[in-house]
Copies of this chain bind each other. A is one copy, B any other.
Amino acid sequence: MEKNGLLIVISGFSGAGKGTLVKALLRKYDNYALSISMTTRAPREGERDGVEYFFTTKERFEETIQRGGLIEYAPYCGNYYGTPRDYVEEQMALGKNVILEIEIQGALKIKKKFPESLLIFVTPPSAGELKRRLEGRGTESAEMIAKRLARAAEESEGIEAYDYIVVNDDLDTCVEELHRLADAALRAPVRSQKLIGEIREELQGFQKGAD
């Protein structure tokens, strides 16, 4: 019930459709903001610096780590990915729910650092469907697809660390579900500390009055 925005981490298997889902959520509701990650991986066709990612070199990425400019970072498939601090803090202070689309290692670091963050794992309805989507992209080698599926098997071991798991089958349904989960999450005690504290204090006041 606190007024500050939520920090929402969205992870999921590569090919689960996280990007499309998050874009649709941002288009539909104006109380979300998307954190743009910094990465050392090469841009895919059509990706623009400062839109999909901030693309940078290994050296500059490591400099940013050194000066505390990232709230988390992690290696993934041979490249660095990280979350710049300033934008996240600024948007949350404005009351926006800030979405980080990051992988599981980063997600776990975020949860440890910010216990009130909300971790959502997005999955296709089945692993078979995941494989079909990866193959259907037509942009990646068989080797890369195998690598992503191996990574997915690893990641699936970490799902229990997430607050919610959502199945991305129908896009519109899934957007609504995400929005409702963000609302539900505000009712978890970890995100209602102010209310709980006030009630406790007032109840203790009655006790003192009665003594």
Contacts and interface: CB of A to CB of B under 8 A. Distances in A.
A165 B192 contact: yes
A204 interface: yes
Interface stretch (A24-32, A63-71, A148-156): A148-156
A94 interface: no
Main secondary structure on A side of the interface with B: helix
A93 interface: no
Interface in A173-198: 177, 180-181, 183-185, 187-190, 192, 195-196, 198
A122 B41 CA distance: 48
A164 interface: yes
Interface in A130-164: 130-131, 146, 149-150, 152-153, 156-157, 159-160, 162-164
A195 B165 contact: yes
A126 to B, nearest CB: 6
Q: Chain A: interface residue count, which band?
A: 35 or more
Contact of A164 (B121, B165, B187): B187
Which interface residue of A131, A146, A152, A187 has the most chain B CB atoms within 10 A? A187
A207 interface: yes
Interface of A: 1, 121, 123, 126-128, 130-131, 146, 149-150, 152-153, 156-157, 159-160, 162-167, 177, 180-181, 183-185, 187-190, 192, 195-196, 198-200, 202-207, 210
